[in-house]
Amino acid sequence: MKEYKVIIYQESLLSSVLLGSAKVDPIKFTEFLNRHASLGWRVVTMEKEMRRALLFSSREAYIVILEREAN
């Protein structure tokens, strides 16, 4: 039996405000994925989107669906 987890991964709102838009840091995103992999999770799929932050800014986000064997 499998269990699933859905996570929205995005950079902080502060960087969106200061820079006008925020891209996901690939090093931090890699660390995030590796932390979950060490707990038995694997990425099933992910989708990138731009999410509005406040009035004039946006930030990059990833919707990540993870899967692992249920305990």
Write the CB contacts of 15 (distance below 8 Å, at least 6 apart in sequence): 22, 59
| pLDDT tens-digit readout, 14-49 | 654 555 456 788 888 999 999 999 999 999 999 998
> What is the count of structural domains for the chain?
1
Q: Facing residues of 10 across strands?
A: 61
For residue 46, what are its two tokens?
Answer: 């992910």
Q: Could you list the residue range(s) of the whole structural domain that residue 10 is in?
A: 2-69
Confidence bin at 71 (pLDDT 50/70/90): confident
**Measured between alpha carbons, how far is 33 from 64 in angstroms, rounded to an integer?**
9
**Measured between alpha carbons, how far is 40 from 14 in angstroms, rounded to an integer?**
32
